[in-house]
Structure 1
């Protein structure tokens, strides 16, 4: 396994300065945003798509520091009911797949998106209760008419270009649990898999180790984020896990994102890394820093230090004792 970082947290730094900094910390891989919610501070996809020389310079900057690009990330909502938004996000995803193919980057990360509840809707509708039955009807309509057709087409588009899609299982979007990830993969093909982030499992009440087993046995983990979560034992009883308060209201929220090791101890993280190895995932563990109690540099540094203790780096050897 390689230790990586989602470089959106260093968007204020120029590309090569950012690469120098993360390489000096011992990171071996970078995940780079190409637009959408992460922005494109370190990767102008249109420029790179149009200019082979700029693509070579981009690759050289990464290679010369002993790094790899684990994924290009373009988190967005390509199923948004407003056509201007979904059209822009669809273009972003397709262009990111094209760029990943040209740069020989194996994974593109994004969100599944969330449609509205009918063709003329203006806003996404995220049904999470089976009753009243209206919600089931909305869910069936979304998956039959929007989710499965779109991702089947994008799955083919990516597969033709030798790229895999890592969908982040995230609340507010159609794919947010291992079960609906596997439902989509079964319908849309094996190019579609997970960019699994344990932080979003914890607040939904899902054990990330079990999520790794469920998805890993199906070969459905294409990328992995390292981010932690704490659940406040008092506030969760007031607001529930679907707490709609701003992330900035950390004292009052039911749960909040933390840097690695500040939500769960290193035994839990060792179990996560071991589960990844057990199911055959031997790619990048990419740090995502969204801890409201720590600066970017401190949160990133602590995540690196903590993960260095538990990351399994060497190839599996012979079982000499059997």
Structure 2
């Protein structure tokens, strides 16, 4: 495995300054935001696709520092019921796929999106209860009329270019659990897999190790994020796991994101790394920093130090003892 970082946390730095900082931390890989919610501060597909000289210099910035690009990430809602919003997210995602092919980056990450409750809706509608039965009917309509058709078409476009799509399992979107990811993968094909982030499993009450086993046995993990979550044992009883308070209300929230090692101990993270190796995932572990109690540099540095202790880097050898 290689240790990397989702570079949007360093968006305030120019690209080459950010890469120098990343390389100095001893990392080997960088995941780049290319549009959607993460923005494109370090990687603007429209500019790079229009200028092959700029594209060449862009690639050289990574190669000269011994860094690889693990994924291009364009997280948005291409199923948004407002067409102008959906079309922009889709445009950015398709440009990202085109750029990934030119950069020889094998994975494009994103969200599945979430439709509304009809063709006339204005806002996404995320059903999470089976009763009243309206929610079941809504869920069936969303998947049959919106989710599966969109990703069949988009998945084919990516597959034709040799690109895999890593969907992040995230609350608020149609694909948010191992089961929903596998449902879409079964309908669309193996081009669809997970950009698995354990932080989103923990707050939903899902054990990330078991999620790795469920998805990994199906060969459905395309990329991996390293971010932690802490669940407050008092506040969760007041607000539940679907706590709608803003992330800034940290003292009263039921759960919040933390840097690696500050929500769960290193034994838990060692179990996660072992599970990834066990199911055959040997690609990049990409740090995502969204810790409201730590500065960018401190939270990132601590995540690096903690993961360096548990990451399994060397290739598998023979069991010499058997």
TM-score category by the smaller chain?
over 0.9
Q: Distance in 1 between matches of 2:245 and 2:24?
A: 37
Task: Please say if 1:9 is aligned against 2:22.
Answer: no
Aligned pairs for 1:141-290 (under 5 A) are 141-290=141-290
How far did 1:44 drift?
A: 1.3
How far did 1:292 drift?
A: 0.2
1:133-159 superposed Cα distances (whole Å, 9 cap, x missing partner): 000000000000000000011110000
Q: Distance in 2 between matches of 1:21 and 1:93?
A: 28
Task: Please say if 1:26 is aligned against 2:26.
Answer: yes
Q: Distance in 2 between matches of 1:191 and 1:62?
A: 26
Q: Distance in 1 between matches of 2:255 and 2:245?
A: 10
Q: Distance in 1 between matches of 2:151 and 2:253?
A: 34
Partner of 2:64: 64
Question: Which ranges in structure 1 are unaligned for 5 or more consecutive residues?
Answer: none
1:64-100 superposed Cα distances (whole Å, 9 cap, x missing partner): 1000000000100000000000011111111000000
When the two structures are aligned, how many residues end up with a matched partner?
Answer: 322
Task: Please say if 1:74 is aligned against 2:74.
Answer: yes
Q: Distance in 2 between matches of 1:199 and 1:239?
A: 18
Q: Distance in 2 between matches of 1:160 and 1:181?
A: 21
Partner of 1:87: 87
1:18-63 superposed Cα distances (whole Å, 9 cap, x missing partner): 0000000011100000111001110111011111111111111001
1:273-313 superposed Cα distances (whole Å, 9 cap, x missing partner): 00000000000000000000000000000000000000000
**SS of the counterpart of 1:40?**
coil
**SS of the counterpart of 1:224?**
strand
How far did 1:255 drift?
A: 0.1
Q: Distance in 1 between matches of 2:225 and 2:131?
A: 33
Q: CA RMSD in A?
A: 0.4
Q: Distance in 2 between matches of 1:282 and 1:318?
A: 17
Aligned pairs for 1:109-124 (under 5 A) are 109-124=109-124
Provide TM-score, normalisation by structure 1. Answer: 1.00
**SS of the counterpart of 1:108?**
strand
Aligned pairs for 1:276-315 (under 5 A) are 276-315=276-315
Q: Distance in 1 between matches of 2:31 and 2:239?
A: 34
Q: Distance in 2 between matches of 1:18 and 1:86?
A: 31
Q: Distance in 2 between matches of 1:210 and 1:275?
A: 8
Q: Distance in 2 between matches of 1:93 and 1:40?
A: 12
